[in-house]
Structure 1
Amino acid sequence: MARWFNTAGPCNPANHYMLPALRRLPEVQRLIDQQGYFVVHAPRQVGKTTALLSLAQELTSEGRYVAALVSMEVGAGFPQDIGAAEAAILQSWRGAMRAQLPTELQPPPFPEAPPGSRIATALASWSETARKPVVVFLDEIDALRDDVLISVLRQLRDGYRNRPGHFPSSLALIGLRDVRDYKVTSSGSDHLASSSPFNIKVRSLTMRDFTEEEVAELYAQHTADTGQRFEPEALALAFALTQGQPWLVNALAKVTVEELVTDTAQPVRRADIERAKAILIQRQETHLDSLAERLREPRIRAILEPMLAGELLGDVPEDDRRFAIDLGLLRRNPEGTLEVANPIYREVIVGFLASGTRATLPSIQPSWLKPDGRLDTERLRDAFLAFWRQHGEPLLATAPYHEIAPHLVLMAFLHRVVNGGGSIEREYAIGRGRMDLCVRHGPDTLAIEIKVWRDREPDPLPEGLTQLDGYLQGLGQRGGWLVLFDRRSGQPPIAERTRAEEARTPSGLPVTVIRA
């Protein structure tokens, strides 16, 4: 049976291309052998469930332990009813254990117990009747909230001292977040803010993304099965776009080989990966859509809004920065600076934030096209000036992030320009003081740098010309736009102050300066 690239649920080697699941969690075996209770947290669809399910099967088959991966997710349906949540969870466990364990290793029926103690009673009963030490991986633990979550954590802590004979020898909590970020409201906060009441953990582990070599290794399995190869430039781009995020790595390849290059006699080229990226972003698959929803959270907005504007973060708590990293939304670069985790997420973030503005844009006639369909940048400039004068003020109110509202309106306009015939690439980072856009339309490229003039700051024109100079040289372009949004208080209406002028960069490149 042919294997395929998996983008939904745990992988299994019979059906899916996959790498050794535990390669990215090398410490787990030692923690289990030391009877440790620990946490494994990582973003969705990076392989947590696959890795721990595989490990449970290996531990059981080796004969030293009885191990199973069970889910806590069904308990989320009863956030205020501890007893009902426990009953649903234990029923789910029975099904999981039947699927994972031979009959002789399955636990006996769980004893009756009062609400608030049923999870601990079930684990104690299983540990006491098993002929070997029990290892349990509790998946989706952070699906639980409030009293149910606190009750489960306290039961685990209370039973911990009775291991290994009367409670699991080793146990792991598996979820998106570390324990301190589990959702609660009863404590007056929206998260635990410390590891209590699970202060028995010895480690918190997270799963790393694939390396560039591992992406090539995964794609080589498809080549070995089908004969279809990925050209080196395609492999390099796949890693550059995803930075090894496992779901993205699989999704890019899946779209490419199942939809774009279905003839396995044809190799996968760089252009095919580019097309697959555009399809993924356009479709807003569940993984990307759930990621975008995080942008509404105040803790995430406090980081992303200044990042998109190119400003410094300011007083953002370390817990919030770590939370954004744990979600897989951001990462630290080699210099330690926060940045968006990969270029695809970078596109998804801005696209999501600009989507409301795009939906409210008025009809715009494409006056910027030459008779041969090429881009006329002078007409495009005039079209934007007219658009901004007429619609800029009301459209600014549609942007969800106030500090970058002008950026989002400009990008919504440019999406109309490239719709169906081009793309927009964006560069932004903390402390750069700008956002860079590269608009591609057929063979034409337009480089745009965006800066904002705020109160008590000097005119950003000189700095902007210098920065645009470097951006143009990096793209190999002989000209571009510098867009200066004046956000100072007490300025004339947008219609009166919007204008364009010509200037030159320090190296002499001609550019258009748009003051808006």
Structure 2
Amino acid sequence: MRFFTTEGPVKPEDHYCLPPLQRWGLDEVLMLIEQKKYFLLHAPRQTGKTSCLLALMEHLNREGRYRAVYANLEGAQTAREDVARGMRTICGTIEAAARLYLGDDRLHAWTESSWQARGADGALTGLLENWALNSSAPLVVLLDEVDALIGDTLIALLRQLRAGYTQRSAAFPNTVILCGVRDLRDYRIHASSEHQAINGGSAYNIKAESLRLGDFSADEVSALLQEHTQETGQAFTPEALARVWELTQGQPWLVNALAYETCFEMREGRDRSQAIDRARIDQAKENLILCRVTHLDQLADKLREPRVRRVIEPMLAGTALGEVPTDDIQYLIDLGLCRMANGRGLTIANPIYREVLPRALAFTPQASLPQITPSWLDAAGNLVPDALLAAFLAFWRQHGEPLLGSAPYHEIAPHLVLMAFMQRVVNGEGTLEREYAIGRGRMDLCLRYRAVTLGIELKVWRERAPDPLAEGLTQLDAYLAGLGLDGGWLVIFDRRPGLAPVAERLTSTEATSPQGRRIRVVRA
């Protein structure tokens, strides 16, 4: 029985999958190999890069015009700037790959002779020269996880490949493909002794192309899910197929994770006579986020990096990016956290990531919350909006200001503490959806709890800026109209300096929006 996989390269005999080389564009890759080019493949983690490289190796070896070997260099990461140790690991990895995939056990002797003659700074060049000279066909070497290498070890690898480049393909590999998350321009090599960064391109200026493996298209998402239907008879409703695409925007790991959770983990999804509907997809999404699965946890961990914070913090606040370096923006795109959307500029890559990032940032404030009695529920367990407002005001008056220090992003600390409170409110019985983007000047929240839907807009009153009330009421009108609601909350966080403590200035009043909706205005 095949299944959806989220763990490493796909195996068609075990996993539902799309043909890897079809996704990559085999004709373009073969043209570059025919032209003896050295090039890169990069894409975010868990999007199918390794599957593509393995499929390419198999294709080339089956055709017989080239001899191809795939080697994963991640094991050399721990060598950091110990070049001798790092190059020993790299050469040993290539030797093992040649034995495994080609049955060629001659490489170790060539490594040893090259090491004696050239040392760590030339051993790889010598190994590849000997291998190419004694190969029955031009060599294609596929090196994965190259951007995991650090410091002088990475410099040594790139420079030794460049050193032999002019000898291709008679006395050096015909083609070398470097693969990783980041593009070559972002291979930043730091020497601890000098604390200087060298751009990777200066050490490897022979690359001809930098190919990015894209996400699935909507049609490819449907095609992948239909493999399960063809094999088991269990259908996905059209609404479910559309929802998977909407939530993931084709990110391969997310597509597979949602489908696996729905069809193999959720008890009701294992009944193959029952079609998978939109509600099950939504529940699977919540399950993945709540379980903090590794992929999503790794993305959330990136939020601690200064270059990620410089982009994500204003995005969550709804402010302009300002003078953020272009490389920082491209870094987030390469990581798969963000994408350039037509007509909208930079945005979070998909709705699941849009949900995960603020949840991750609000985790510490949520863990710091005191015990809160759910006074917002009636005897039947239904949410009462007026009681929720009273509970929030009481919470904010007593605990809001002290908790701001627990938020990792200072500029949006009030947003994070409020979201932590609301996440405690939903507590598995409901959902809290977030909408935010660069330049919107706000963050919108939609709290759904059983039959109750509550729309909330968060705005910040900053120094030397006018009162955001009027703008907020107009913006909230549009948001509530999209939700089909005739009222909601506008929460204005006053962040101007020199104000009285929050407990003394916290207020709640009623206002009417330009389109006649009843708005509860909270000034905190």
TM-score normalised by the chain length of structure 1: 0.97
In 1, the alpha carbon distance for the partners of 2:430 and 2:92 equals 52
What residue is the counterpart of 2:303 in the other structure?
Answer: 295
- The answer to which of 113-122 and 337-346 deviates more is 113-122
Among 462, 475, 479, the residue aligned to 1:467: 475
The answer to whether the 8 A contact 2:188-2:199 is kept is no
In 1, the alpha carbon distance for the partners of 2:459 and 2:507 equals 15
Among 425, 430, 442, the residue aligned to 1:422: 430
The yes-or-no answer on 1:229 pairing with 2:230 is no
Aligned-partner residue type, residue 24 of structure 1: R
The answer to whether the 8 A contact 1:310-1:433 is kept is yes
The answer to whether the 8 A contact 2:43-2:182 is kept is yes
The yes-or-no answer on 1:268 pairing with 2:276 is yes
What residue is the counterpart of 2:517 in the other structure?
Answer: 509
The yes-or-no answer on 1:119 pairing with 2:124 is yes
Superposition RMSD in Å: 1.4
Among 115, 139, 144, the residue aligned to 1:139: 144
How far is the alpha carbon of 1:229 from its aligned partner? 0.8
In 2, the alpha carbon distance for the partners of 1:64 and 1:189 equals 45
In 1, the alpha carbon distance for the partners of 2:236 and 2:135 equals 49
In 2, the alpha carbon distance for the partners of 1:91 and 1:153 equals 17
The answer to whether the 8 A contact 1:183-1:190 is kept is no
What residue is the counterpart of 2:51 in the other structure?
Answer: 50
Deviations 1:94-140 (A, max 9, x none): 33223322x36975743321112222222111111111110011100
What residue is the counterpart of 1:241 in the other structure?
Answer: 247
The yes-or-no answer on 1:34 pairing with 2:35 is yes
Residue aligned with 1:449, SS: strand
What residue is the counterpart of 1:171 in the other structure?
Answer: 176
What residue is the counterpart of 2:17 in the other structure?
Answer: 18
Deviations 1:134-169 (A, max 9, x none): 001110001110010001100011110110011100
The yes-or-no answer on 1:180 pairing with 2:181 is no
What residue is the counterpart of 1:192 in the other structure?
Answer: 198
How far is the alpha carbon of 1:72 from its aligned partner? 1.1
Among 480, 496, 502, the residue aligned to 2:504: 496
Aligned-partner residue type, residue 257 of structure 1: C
Deviations 1:215-271 (A, max 9, x none): 000001111111111111001000100000000000000000002200111111100
Residue aligned with 1:195, SS: helix
What residue is the counterpart of 1:9 in the other structure?
Answer: 8
Deviations 1:358-389 (A, max 9, x none): 11100111000111211111111111111111
The answer to whether the 8 A contact 1:308-1:428 is kept is yes
Aligned-partner residue type, residue 244 of structure 2: A
The answer to whether the 8 A contact 1:339-1:430 is kept is yes
The yes-or-no answer on 1:63 pairing with 2:69 is no
Among 119, 128, 147, the residue aligned to 2:133: 128
In 2, the alpha carbon distance for the partners of 1:222 and 1:452 equals 48
Indicate the percent of aligned positions where both proteins have the same amino acid. 52
Alignment of 1:46-445 (within 5 A): 46-101=47-102, 103=103, 109-112=109-112, 113=115, 114-186=119-191, 192-193=198-199, 195-260=201-266, 261-335=269-343, 337-445=345-453
Consecutive unaligned residues of structure 2, counting only runs of 5 or more, are: none
The answer to whether the 8 A contact 1:180-1:192 is kept is no
The answer to whether the 8 A contact 1:105-1:130 is kept is no
Deviations 1:150-203 (A, max 9, x none): 011000111101100111001111001111212422186675335111100011
The answer to whether the 8 A contact 1:180-1:191 is kept is no
In 2, the alpha carbon distance for the partners of 1:392 and 1:367 equals 18
TM-score normalised by the chain length of structure 2: 0.96
